[in-house]
Copies of this chain bind each other. A is one copy, B any other.
């Protein structure tokens, strides 16, 4: 055991940090101006940054093995953290943004040659964007067996009917493909009813009903949609892996994906802590620097401590995925999935309090960070369900009933 990053990891950390500093952050203003002017058009600044990142080899770093840059999850973690600290819009620069990353992983692991050629290739090239349609508004999606969307075989096609929401990326100008989770056989065993199928977003019957807000933010240019699938027909070859494997694919997908979120979230917390310290050092109340008031010493200390502990946890979980696969890191992934957002929300909330009115307004990134991170206590399974998993694995060590 040791806590020194690999040379290769450090090399990438240094390069990503420099790239963010030199090429990305100075163009944030231009980028957002373009988004604001016309959110239906992919901002040229983003495309320029993407081209430079790809050129620099800082591209698809999330993909383990030889398909991306050959980094391990453990090596990728600090890079995702750096992007999270720079701003949650920056992963797209490196083609490392959710849900495209998860979709690429799914196609990489479960897609056949035709699917990979048709969809994985342009995704990895950053030419198109994708969505993942799982959550449904009418049922508690925390329990995957509740899914109501139907995928029915009809000759050479599947016909899909259902309603999905929180379909991230659906406002993206380049979105082209969605992976849709639904049930092909409601009579099968509980976890063999689901399948996943590729649905081009321009298929007739595929309709964005409305865009959702997150605490008042529309999160453009990404956006989260409510999507209606109304007798959507796709060729049978669009099915991923095979009927009844939807649950399995979802599980495989969520391991590294959850870790990526956590990495970024730790970056968000670092940013909040940095802003908070600067503020506390630069304001005076009751004749003292606010930093001198001991209640803030306690909060800053707890922020630092909790960030460090969560970072170690996410690194360990990444290492375990590298060593033994996501399945064997089930408890660790669930642990950090719950712990990281909760930690970050506390740090961000304290930072908001340190800033007062500026904290809740648009003058700092804090309120929007809070909103986004808050969704992560819900997305990809709420805290309660992950804690249930952790507890049952714990009980199993002591003779409790086995966990599926």
Chain A to chain B contacts (Cβ below 8 Å), 29 pairs = A1-B6, A1-B9, A2-B74, A137-B357, A140-B283, A140-B356, A142-B285, A212-B357, A215-B215, A216-B217, A216-B218, A277-B395, A278-B398, A291-B400, A294-B294, A294-B384, A298-B384, A300-B394, A301-B338, A301-B389, A301-B391, A304-B391, A305-B338, A308-B313, A308-B316, A353-B382, A353-B383, A356-B382, A360-B374
User: Do residues A387 and B302 form an inter-chain contact, with CB atoms below 8 A?
Assistant: yes
Q: Report how far A365 CA is from B216 CA in the complex, Å.
A: 11
Cross-chain contact of A304 among B360, B379, B390 (Cβ < 8 A): B390
B residues near A293, Cβ cutoff 8 Å: 294, 384
Q: Report how far A300 CA is from B296 CA in the complex, Å.
A: 16
B residues near A316, Cβ cutoff 8 Å: 3, 308, 312
Question: Cβ of A388 < 8 Å from any Cβ of B?
Answer: yes
**Max count, chain B CB within 10 A of own CB: residue among A140, A278, A334, A379:** A140
B residues near A3, Cβ cutoff 8 Å: 1, 315-316, 319-320
User: Do residues A356 and B384 form an inter-chain contact, with CB atoms below 8 A?
Assistant: no
User: Do residues B1 and A74 form an inter-chain contact, with CB atoms below 8 A?
Assistant: yes
Question: Cβ of A202 < 8 Å from any Cβ of B?
Answer: no
8 new A-B pairs (CB below 8 Å) besides A3-B315, A216-B217, A297-B384?
A1-B9, A215-B217, A301-B335, A305-B313, A309-B313, A312-B312, A352-B374, A359-B378
Identify the 6 closest CB pairs spanning chains A and B, nearest first: A216-B216, A301-B387, A216-B217, A301-B390, A312-B312, A297-B391
Cross-chain contact of A305 among B335, B358, B378 (Cβ < 8 A): B335
User: Do residues A213 and B362 form an inter-chain contact, with CB atoms below 8 A?
Assistant: yes
Question: Cβ of A332 < 8 Å from any Cβ of B?
Answer: yes
Interface SS majority for chain A: helix
Which residue of B is nearest A370, CB measured?
Answer: B215
- Nearest CB in chain B: distance from A84 CB, A: 19
- Nearest CB in chain B: distance from A403 CB, A: 11
User: Do residues A215 and B371 form an inter-chain contact, with CB atoms below 8 A?
Assistant: yes
Question: Cβ of A36 < 8 Å from any Cβ of B?
Answer: no
Which residue of B is nearest A313, CB measured?
Answer: B309
Question: Cβ of A194 < 8 Å from any Cβ of B?
Answer: no
Question: Cβ of A165 < 8 Å from any Cβ of B?
Answer: yes
Classify chain A's interface size: 35 or more
User: Do residues A215 and B305 form an inter-chain contact, with CB atoms below 8 A?
Assistant: no
- Nearest CB in chain B: distance from A257 CB, A: 17
Question: Cβ of A62 < 8 Å from any Cβ of B?
Answer: no
Total identical chains: 4
- Nearest CB in chain B: distance from A118 CB, A: 30
Question: Cβ of A281 < 8 Å from any Cβ of B?
Answer: yes
User: Do residues A362 and B212 form an inter-chain contact, with CB atoms below 8 A?
Assistant: yes
Question: Cβ of A290 < 8 Å from any Cβ of B?
Answer: yes
**Beta-carbon contacts of A112-148 to B below 8 Å, as 1s and 0s?**
0000000000000000000000010101111100100
Q: Report how far A363 CA is from B138 CA in the complex, Å.
A: 13
Question: Cβ of A37 < 8 Å from any Cβ of B?
Answer: no
B residues near A385, Cβ cutoff 8 Å: 285
| Interface hits, A330-356 → B, CB 8 Å | 331-332, 334-336, 338-339, 352-353, 356
Cross-chain contact of A331 among B213, B274, B304 (Cβ < 8 A): B304
B residues near A391, Cβ cutoff 8 Å: 291, 296-298, 300-301, 304
Q: Report how far A4 CA is from B358 CA in the complex, Å.
A: 42
Question: Cβ of A5 < 8 Å from any Cβ of B?
Answer: yes
Question: Cβ of A40 < 8 Å from any Cβ of B?
Answer: no
Q: Report how far A217 CA is from B74 CA in the complex, Å.
A: 38
- Nearest CB in chain B: distance from A358 CB, A: 7
User: Do residues A280 and B310 form an inter-chain contact, with CB atoms below 8 A?
Assistant: no
